[in-house]
Amino acid sequence: MTQDFTTTEMRDARYVMHPLTDARANLQSGSLIIDRGEGIHVYDLAGNRYIEAMAGLWSVGLGFSEPRLVEAATRQMARLPYYHPFGQKGHGPMVDLAERLVTMAPVPMSKAFFTNSGSEANDTVIKMLWYRANALGQTRRKKIISRHRAYHGITVAAGSLTGIPANHTAFDLPLPGFLHLTAPHYRRNARPGESEEDFATRLAQELEDLILREGPETIAAFFGEPVMGAGGVLVPPRTYWQKIQAVLARHDILLVADEVICGFGRTGRMFGCETYDIRPDVMVLSKQLSSSYLPISAILLNERVFEPIADQTHAIGTFGHGFTGGGHPVAAAVAIETLRIIQERGLVAHAAEVGAWMQDRLAGLAGHPLVDEVRGVGLIAAVELTPARVAGDGAWPPGALGRRAVLHLQQAGVISRAMGDALAFCPPMIIDRDGVDAIVAALRIALDACLKEMAR
């Protein structure tokens, strides 16, 4: 049978290779093509409306039709559509955004360096850490510690930080020198009878043991998301960050906070570092920084990190790293307007209030036969599913129930994302209680549809 390649869906199948997609499956049917967006909703080519319960990719904090962001981009496009930050050049929007980010950081920061995505930013931080170590004469201090199930991006170095098997398999990752520790998922990784605090103590001891085994003089930094996002929305156990930071301080190891998902209100505070009292040396920011209307990311460095790097650039004559689009004036202008809107409209407090409602409403699904765990903080959550209670262990392979539930949820008018058998929820921060209730109602419909499939 000859395929019809005239529809947009089938032209997608013919011409586009998608990220995080089974390429063979896409060749058969193409993708869901989104045509437009408004508020918390997106619409496909047939006019079907969906609540975008993932805010795109954890990122469209202001929703899909904020006119002030369109206007900010248009004004800047007309004035200066492009310029770069290379060789002591710059432009006003980049300077304004750097000042705003450095001054609003939850801990003292010195400088901002701009890239285009979280992956590029984390990759850049790794290079900065190696550069700094060489500047200090600490040429062995190159190893990086991350965690299993962490997500820090997909470039070669950032992908090595990431601790998700699908991002490593067949890519020859991780690279040597990237070390991974137990994910702080209490329900899955705690031992029988172990309290949250005891679990946190054990994970801190695991970090201590790794540092001593590898040699403190070989470790450059520890990377961590305040709340782990793509690995399953893993909320740290009580006292976890306090104990991890104590170990790092004891061995003079830098802490990098990956705020790409958590930053700008998602956890109910402006930064995840504030929610969990994390005091990093480096912060990585992206996604909600521009509500993802344009690509932009930022690295914030404290003096301890910046000064040796600055000395090394003076000795060499340059910092041999950068991106054509880094600090792009139009993206920077949109980011500045995004931050203004977040503050003017009190969206951080709104995320805390509506987030508490979302956590409570999702927790109401805990008694469903397919629900194993509900977890989250603020406006980010995961509902972990298990087929075992209904179909028995091994009846459904890992991830199969999650994939089916996401499809049924989409049919019910809500777009989510499966992380294995966990469904993620990270709606735009402008969502209200009625929007949350609509997501939860659709999720119940999707879970019941999965139950019926199992019965058949």
Report d(CA 161, CA 224) in Å as an integer: 10
pLDDT single digits (tens) 290-322: 999 999 999 999 999 999 999 999 999 999 999
pLDDT band at 32 (very low <50, low <70, confident <90, very high): very high
Among 344, 375, 396, the domain boundary falls at 344
Tell me, yes or no, whether 267 and 358 share the same domain.
Answer: no
Tell me, yes or no, whether 216 and 140 share the same domain.
Answer: yes
Tell me, yes or no, whether 436 and 382 share the same domain.
Answer: yes
Tell me, yes or no, whether 227 and 201 share the same domain.
Answer: yes
> Is 13 within a domain?
no
Tell me, yes or no, whether 269 and 195 share the same domain.
Answer: yes
Question: What average pLDDT does this structure show over 194-204?
Answer: 98
Among 318, 344, 370, the domain boundary falls at 344
Question: What average pLDDT does this structure show over 102-120?
Answer: 98
Report d(CA 280, CA 107) in Å as an integer: 7
Q: How far is CA 58 from CA 7, 98, 264, 319, 381, in A?
A: 29, 23, 12, 32, 11
> Is 18 within a domain?
no
Among 344, 363, 395, the domain boundary falls at 344
> Is 189 within a domain?
yes
Tell me, yes or no, whether 310 and 429 share the same domain.
Answer: no
pLDDT in the model for residue 395: 72
> Is 121 within a domain?
yes
Tell me, yes or no, whether 94 and 240 share the same domain.
Answer: yes
pLDDT in the model for residue 454: 86
SS3 42: strand
The rounded percent of the chain whose pLDDT value lies above 90 is 94
Counting the structural domains of the chain, the total is: 2
pLDDT single digits (tens) 409-433: 999 999 999 999 999 999 999 999 9
Tell me, yes or no, whether 218 and 312 share the same domain.
Answer: yes
Q: What is the DSSP letter of 191?
A: P
Report d(CA 203, CA 208) in Å as an integer: 9
- For residue 143, what is the domain's CATH number? 3.40.640.10
| Sign of the CA dihedral with 55 first, then 41, 292, and 267 last | negative
- What are the percentages of helix, strand and coil residues in the chain, rounded to 5? 45, 15, 40
> Is residue 423 a contact partner of residue 450, using CB atoms and an 8 Å limit?
no
Q: Who wins on pLDDT, 392 or 341? A: 341
> Is 21 within a domain?
no
Report d(CA 307, CA 353) in Å as an integer: 40
Antiparallel, parallel or unpaired: β 380-385 and 371-377: antiparallel
pLDDT band at 2 (very low <50, low <70, confident <90, very high): very low
> Is residue 267 a contact partner of residue 227, using CB atoms and an 8 Å limit?
yes
Report d(CA 185, CA 190) in Å as an integer: 7
> Is residue 111 a contact partner of residue 306, using CB atoms and an 8 Å limit?
yes
Tell me, yes or no, whether 193 and 81 share the same domain.
Answer: yes
Rg of the chain's alpha carbons, rounded to an integer? 22
SS3 32: coil
pLDDT in the model for residue 388: 78
pLDDT at 147 > cutoff 60:
yes
- For residue 430, what is the domain's CATH number? 3.90.1150.10
Tell me, yes or no, whether 313 and 373 share the same domain.
Answer: no
Q: For residue 331, give the nearest of 305, 302, 298, 309 by alpha carbon.
A: 298
Antiparallel, parallel or unpaired: β 380-385 and 41-44: unpaired
> Is 145 within a domain?
yes
At 358, list the tokens: 């979302």
Q: Who wins on pLDDT, 387 or 428? A: 428
Tell me, yes or no, whether 370 and 256 share the same domain.
Answer: no
> Is 17 within a domain?
no
**Maximal CA-CA distance, the chain:** 71
Which residue range is the domain that position 186 belongs to?
A: 68-344
> Is 26 within a domain?
no
SS3 380: strand
Name the strands in the sheet holding 297-301, side by side, starting at the edge strand that comes first in the sequence. Answer: 111-115, 297-301, 282-285, 254-258, 219-224, 143-147, 178-181
pLDDT single digits (tens) 151-173: 999 999 999 999 999 999 999 99
Tell me, yes or no, whether 72 and 199 share the same domain.
Answer: yes
